Amino acid sequence: MKAVNSSRKSKAIRTLWLVEAAVVVCAVIVSAWIRFQNDPATHGEFSEYALLRALLVAVFITGAMAAFGLYQIHVRHNRLDFALRIVLSFFFGGAGLLVIYYLIPQTYIGRGVLAMSLAFSLLAIVGVRFASMRIFNIDVLKQRVLVLGAGKNADLINSRMRRQADRRTFTILGFVPVADQPVQVSEELLLRSEHGLDRLIEQLQIDELVVAPDERRGVLPMEEMLKCVQQGVSIVDLSTFFEREAGTVQLNVVDPSWLVFSGGFDYSAPRRLSKRFFDLVAASLLLLVAWPVMLLVGLAIWLESGGPVLYRQTRVGERGQHFDLIKFRSMRQDAEKGGVAIWASKNDDRTTRVGRFIRLTRLDELPQLFSVLRGHMSFVGPRPERPHFVDMLNDQIRYYDVRHCMKPGLTGWAQLRYPYGASVRDAEEKLKFDLFYVKNHGLVFDVMILLQTVEVVLFGRGAR
């Protein structure tokens, strides 16, 4: 996650998380003081481990908020959506605390303290959220960006990042046309300087220069850019800018040299071991919780349409190797007559009644946990595709095969950021997120994706 962690947006989210965790800790301590105000002995006993108990509450509440997408970097929620997510976060976070208190009685803080803590925390966090929205929208706190280039590549910033939510951490001061290159950006956004790029950047107090000409060879003012660097101005290319701010690898501007030299692609032994350990722990824990549900799903499928309950498909895995992916059968047994691979579509008439439910809730994916345990899949990674589609997409989409440099995943960055894809264009859009993950994957990123997958499952986004 090197590119993401270096961005102001990511730092702001981490700061928000820490502030809200501190708010919960303070709420627990204040609630205990109020609850035991007339009982100094009990308050003294509580205070002995008050900080640890408060930290446990903060971990559960902010963890639940992360699971419901309230710490997503690239998503902005409307008020109703935010209200629903925050209430559910406190409900499930509180339920998780009750389970822990039952298992480990020494951590219990009392019903009165817990109720007051959750109430105070909820009100305070809502206040923090509204205050942070005001603060982050102040232009003076945003990074001042100038774009070198005004052609097709530069205009992608306007077309791909046109919403205010996409520009929460930066503001574009303008676009500087490059000589002898066509201009596609609107005239009112163009900036020109007779005294050179470095003087223009100094006058506008620019923090960052994004280099985005349609053709680089022989057109970049390197001497002026060198002066800008000496002034403390950050200079990045368009691919890096999109990777950092949008969480994607923009296929139409990236070239192989950028993929080679821009960093990432950590496949060192420690990273492989940490990812495998994460896979084993996550898959085992989920199986431990989900096995009764899996039995019920299997029984429901058999009662509706008979056997087989499971559906086996060949998919393409790491380094192009094929493996058998197993899912609960959600379609009729004759869904693909003649063995011809067909993409699932919205309201697909081949889906059974039980199948529609288990696809919407992602219960059909649970048998893939055994593929994770066997090492054919990872818990987080690009979704595996069928060989027929992979061959077709390799021919039509540049860099598509790069996603196969790591194990496919049960969930992934593309699944969080883009709905179900059923066309070449959808596959190309999802590849932008898959390449971002392949390039920037890490243990913390995997945990965040896993938590946010809970939100996808509960809200039924992206299922067909």
Examine residue 10 and state whether it is found in any structural domain, yes or no: yes
Examine residue 392 and state whether it is found in any structural domain, yes or no: yes
Q: CA–CA separation, 394 vs 387, rounded Å?
A: 10
Helix axes 8-35, 40-47, angle to 10 degrees: 150
Examine residue 410 and state whether it is found in any structural domain, yes or no: yes
Predicted local confidence at residue 173, as pLDDT: 93
The CA-atom distances, in angstroms, between 23 and each of 20, 30, 35, 125 are 5, 10, 18, 7
SS percent in the chain: helix, strand, coil, step 5: 60, 10, 30
Q: Domain containing 87: what range?
A: 2-136
Predicted local confidence at residue 2, as pLDDT: 36
Domain boundary among 261, 284, 317: 261
Contact 208, 234 (CB under 8 A): yes
Per-residue pLDDT of the chain (464 residues; tens, 9 = 90+): 333 334 555 677 788 899 999 999 999 999 988 988 888 887 777 777 888 989 999 999 999 998 887 887 655 566 767 887 888 889 999 999 999 998 888 888 888 899 999 999 999 999 998 887 776 666 655 788 999 999 999 999 998 887 766 777 788 999 999 988 999 999 999 998 788 899 999 999 898 999 999 998 888 999 999 999 998 899 999 999 998 888 889 998 888 888 888 888 888 899 999 999 999 999 999 999 999 999 999 999 999 888 789 989 999 999 999 999 999 998 887 666 655 666 666 666 678 899 889 988 889 999 999 999 999 999 999 999 999 999 999 999 999 999 999 999 999 999 888 877 678 889 999 999 999 999 999 887 888 788 788 777 766 555 54
Judgement on whether residues 240 and 384 belong to the same structural domain of the protein:
no
Q: Which helix (H) or strand (E) holds 111?
A: helix 111-136
Q: CA–CA separation, 115 vs 94, rounded Å?
A: 9
Domain boundary among 261, 288, 305: 261
CA angle 276, 309, 289 (to 5 degrees): 45
Judgement on whether residues 109 and 147 belong to the same structural domain of the protein:
no
Examine residue 132 and state whether it is found in any structural domain, yes or no: yes
- Could you report how far apart the first and last alpha carbons of the chain are, in Å? 30
Q: CA–CA separation, 85 vs 323, rounded Å?
A: 38
Q: Which helix (H) or strand (E) holds 389?
A: helix 387-396
Q: CA–CA separation, 457 vs 461, rounded Å?
A: 7
Judgement on whether residues 192 and 115 belong to the same structural domain of the protein:
no
Judgement on whether residues 311 and 436 belong to the same structural domain of the protein:
yes
In this structure, the strands spanning 170-176 and 208-211 are unpaired
Contact 382, 408 (CB under 8 A): yes
Q: Which helix (H) or strand (E) holds 458?
A: helix 443-459
Examine residue 106 and state whether it is found in any structural domain, yes or no: yes
Judgement on whether residues 156 and 204 belong to the same structural domain of the protein:
yes
Judgement on whether residues 330 and 444 belong to the same structural domain of the protein:
yes
Judgement on whether residues 29 and 18 belong to the same structural domain of the protein:
yes
Q: CA–CA separation, 310 vs 325, rounded Å?
A: 10
Which CATH number covers residue 245? 3.40.50.720
Q: CA–CA separation, 8 vs 445, rounded Å?
A: 17
Q: Domain tally for the chain?
A: 3
Query: 357: Cβ–Cβ under 8 A, 6 or more apart, which residues?
Result: 363
Examine residue 224 and state whether it is found in any structural domain, yes or no: yes
CA atoms within 13 A of residue 247's CA, in its CB half-sphere: 24
Contact 345, 422 (CB under 8 A): yes
Examine residue 464 and state whether it is found in any structural domain, yes or no: no
**Phi, psi of 266, rounded to the nearest 5 degrees:** -80, 105
Judgement on whether residues 305 and 331 belong to the same structural domain of the protein:
yes
Judgement on whether residues 432 and 361 belong to the same structural domain of the protein:
yes
Predicted local confidence at residue 307, as pLDDT: 76
311 has which bridge partners? 327
Name residue 456's amino acid.
Answer: V
Predicted local confidence at residue 337, as pLDDT: 62
Burial of 131 from C-beta contacts in 10 A (0-12 / 13-18 / 19+): exposed
């498909």: which residue's tokens?
313
Query: 155: Cβ–Cβ under 8 A, 6 or more apart, which residues?
Result: 184, 185
Contact 309, 364 (CB under 8 A): no
Judgement on whether residues 455 and 330 belong to the same structural domain of the protein:
yes
Judgement on whether residues 246 and 144 belong to the same structural domain of the protein:
yes
Domain boundary among 106, 136, 166: 136
Contact 69, 454 (CB under 8 A): no
Closest-CA residue to 371 (of 406, 405, 326): 326
Judgement on whether residues 310 and 343 belong to the same structural domain of the protein:
yes
Examine residue 226 and state whether it is found in any structural domain, yes or no: yes
